[in-house]
Amino acid sequence: MTKRSFLLRQLSILLITIAVCTFQPSKADSANCLWVSSYHQGYEWNDGIGRGLDATLASRCKIEKFYMDTKRNTSQDFGRKMGAEAFALVQRNKPDLIIASDDNASRYFVKPYLKNSKIPVVFCGINWGIEEYGYPYDNATGMVEIAPVTAILEEIKRTINSPSRGLYLSVDVPTEHIDYFWYKKTFARNRVTVDSHFVKTLAEWKAGYLTGQRYDFIIIGNNGGIKNWNKKQAEDFAYKNAKKLTVTNYDWMMPYTMLAETKIPDEQGEWAGMVALEILDGMHPSDIPIVPNRRWSFFVNHKLLEKAGIQLKQDFLINAIRIQQ
């Protein structure tokens, strides 16, 4: 072989090697990810998690989405059925990684089918604690969803002189009962009693709102799952009858509420997406700590505050997002 032929051959080998390295996809580039959501597309919290996932994970992982729809269908039988359907999808498509958002995805899908399996799982949006689902698993890590209950109590105490009784008004679903438990426990440590009023319809919500006017304040919980909910009717009713301070930890409840300190659903999705990338790049799920959410947003509804004649502290107003109506 001549020197020229040898150099040409070596150059060809080099070019082929460069081409292979350039176009060979990494594990993350070629990964198939499955997002199993407890809820339905169009529900504000659910869509925020989806935004966070898309922002961090979609460019490197094909995300298949499965919606369990258990916010609108609350029976255990339906939850178990959707959990089984999600697992059937796993068996057919064999994803490289699974993201499971909110409680029912862990309750009906991850715990019965994927506990300590070979498929890595990143959960998010589980309310307050993981004990019910037996986490941690060898193959799972995640972010727990915690509401800013203590911060909300402090703002109530700064606004109302010596509050002693409040009402928790919310849709009658399991996750809201969990939230109420923590509100009641936290407020009780501060000698403030919180009663509950759980509802299934808009008419029941209106009745609960009127009942709340006999308390020092009302905690407005979630409306997701309330039958025949009508935003305009609820907004008009709240304005007409607003006399006592209303607070919430859901930003989409601000048309009916005076102030909010809220969780950020996008944070859950963004964190889950970033952790998924770490796992796809070789990190073991059990080496990644389970963490709570860390970010809050602040909102204020001046229209309702003015109607009720309630003044918030100036520092809260400066930091809050004003709701336009």
Residue 35, Cβ density class (10 Å: 0-12 exposed, 13-18 middle, ≥19 buried): buried
The string of pLDDT tens digits covering residues 78-126 is 999 999 999 999 999 999 999 999 999 999 999 999 999 999 999 999 9
Entry pTM: 0.73
Q: How confident is the model at residue 314 (pLDDT cuts 50, 70, 90)?
A: confident
Overall fold of domain 149-262+297-322? Rossmann fold (3.40.50)
Packed helices 174-188 and 149-159: angle between N→C axes, nearest 10 degrees:
60
CB 273, CB 56: distance < 8 Å: yes
Distance CA 240, CA 161 (A): 24
**Taking a C-beta distance cutoff of 8 angstroms, is the pair 43, 250 a contact?**
no
pLDDT digits (tens, 9 = 90+) for 190-225: 999 999 999 999 999 999 999 999 999 999 999 988
* Mean pLDDT score, 37-49: 93
Q: List pLDDT tens digits, range 231-243.
A: 999 999 999 999 9
**Same fold for the pair 31-146+265-292 and 149-262+297-322:** yes
Residue 25 has pLDDT above 70, yes or no: no
Write down the pLDDT at residue 91.
Answer: 96
| Residue ranges per structural domain of the chain | 31-146+265-292, 149-262+297-322
Q: Indicate the pLDDT class of residue 325, thresholds 50, 70 and 90.
A: low
CA–CA gap between residue 1 and residue 13 (Å, rounded): 16
Dihedral angle computed from the Cα positions of residues 165, 171, 173 and 175, in that order, rounded to the nearest 10 degrees: -60
pLDDT at residue 168, rounded to an integer: 98
Helices assigned H by DSSP within the chain: 3-23, 44-57, 76-93, 103-105, 111-114, 149-159, 174-188, 202-212, 231-241, 265-280, 302-308, 314-319
pLDDT of 308 above 90: yes
Superfamily of domain covering 31-146+265-292: Response regulator (3.40.50.2300)
d(CA 170, CA 167): 10
- What is the predicted pLDDT for the residue at 324? 55
Count Cβ atoms below 10 Å from residue 294 Cβ, excluding itself. Answer: 10
